[in-house]
């Protein structure tokens, strides 16, 4: 892939990853903060922890794409598996809704970092 394609892919991953972290972060803040004061915090805390890891991976991917992409991808997969564990296969759509927005940019970052290492 030429240099302009790599730059385009990098910015697509950055924008898509940033929008994912921002959307889910705002969602968990809006829905989660009131629930933190109730007794229903087990699943919420787990999902917020995984979202925190995805955010760390996203921030890390701006400088070290491969490592940040791995963290984002693993966080996305773990979010999806956690939702699948909690709701069973009837919640497979929710699993995809939570996993793919972090998995896709994570894999893009991972691929960019892998290509960068092989070019050097």
Higher pLDDT, 9 or 45: 9
The full 3-state SS of 63-106, as one line of letters, equals CCHHHHHHHHHHHHHHHHHHHHHHHHHHHHHHHHHHHHHHHHHH
The pLDDT tens digits for 19-62 are 999 998 888 777 766 666 766 666 777 888 888 999 999 999 99
Rounded CA gap, 104 and 89, in Å? Answer: 21
Comparing C-alpha atoms, which of 54, 29, 47, 53 is closest to residue 104?
54
pTM of the model: 0.85
Rounded CA gap, 107 and 46, in Å? Answer: 23
Answer whether residue 120 shows pLDDT above 70.
Answer: no
Degrees to nearest 5, angle at CA 23 with 105 and 21: 40
Cα 76 to the chain's mean position, in Å? 5
């Amino acid at each position: 892939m030429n240099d302009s394609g790599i730059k385009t892919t990098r910015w697509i991953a950055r924008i898509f990853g940033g929008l994912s972290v921002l959307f889910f972060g705002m969602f968990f803040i809006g829905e989660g903060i009131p629930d933190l004061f109730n007794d229903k915090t087990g699943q919420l805390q787990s999902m917020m922890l995984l979202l925190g890891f995805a955010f760390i991976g996203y921030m890390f991917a701006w400088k070290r794409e491969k490592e940040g992409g791995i963290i984002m991808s693993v966080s996305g997969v773990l979010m999806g598996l956690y939702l699948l564990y909690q709701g069973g296969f009837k919640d497979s759509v929710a699993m995809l809704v939570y996993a793919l927005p972090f998995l896709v940019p994570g894999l893009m970052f991972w691929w960019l970092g892998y290509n960068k290492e092989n070019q050097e």
